[in-house]
Structure 1
Amino acid sequence: MSQNCFAIVQLLFVLFTVCSLFIATTDGCYFRNCPIGGKRATPMSEQGSNQKCMSCGPNGEGQCVGSNICCHKDGCIIGTLAKECNEENESTTACSVKGVPCGTDGQGRCVADGVCCDESSCFTTDRCDRENHRSMAMQKLLEIRDGIYYKK
């Protein structure tokens, strides 16, 4: 009886060791097991991935922002209507969501006029208002021009 118990313990130890080595050598990050903030949490400059996010929405003009979020120029589709974005779950590489950083710690992206999304949610914000961005950019250009033109 004691030899059987010893053999079972040895077998469990070997099985545990093999499983531990297997887990340690895998480097996948899926939506369900990513670090806090998700696989898109690192700033775009640090990701090293220029992989374009999947196309989705009307005429394929949108981009998948998360596993159930599809955004295009007119807004976002969330939930079952964005089911084509579920394929993002299969990718182990983060894709680069196009848009100006927004949201908490800049982890979201302005993906539509007035809409900021991260991989799990979207919200409206003036920070993503296209007209606001255009007027701010024009103001900065005018300030630069005035600084050069009126420089004494």
Structure 2
Amino acid sequence: METFILYLVGIIGSTATYYVNTKFHQGAVRSSAMLTLLVAGFLHFFPQSVSPYLAQYIPPIFIGASFIGMVSKNQLSTYFGLALAGVIFTTILLNTSKFFTGYGGALGTSACIALLVVLSIPYFKSPRKMTVGFLQLRKTILKKQGKDSKRRVDLFK
């Protein structure tokens, strides 16, 4: 039951931050800070309202999930995507947070990974997969080789 509550906190943290950011025009940082202050402040002053395990883990999970909610609405605009990123973030943080020491912090790294996973889903659904960027890169390299060098080497046979 406690794990379910932590997953719910991850979902609420990401979607609530995004909601406050987009609907009330507070900005990403202010939205994250205000909501985190409310959650962490409540648990700081009333730690007996939840179990000690939840009192310890709810604030960092909410803070990290609020990093996900700071995403631009041009990049990710669905609440389902935000909720999915919150679930992925919580899973990563609960299972691997001790491995992220020295990588800019477990919260930010886990939030970045979760958001990148969600943002990459459309590429896996497209029929051309990820070859679009590769083909553009190939075209650019071949174009430069034709102009800049006397001897043309085709790297992509």
- TM-score when normalising by structure 2: 0.29
Give the structure with the higher percent helix: 2
Asked which structure has the greater CA Rg, the reply is 1
Identify the structure with bigger relative contact order (alpha carbons < 8 Å, sequence gap 6+).
Answer: 2
Give the structure with the higher percent strand: 1
- TM-score when normalising by structure 1: 0.30
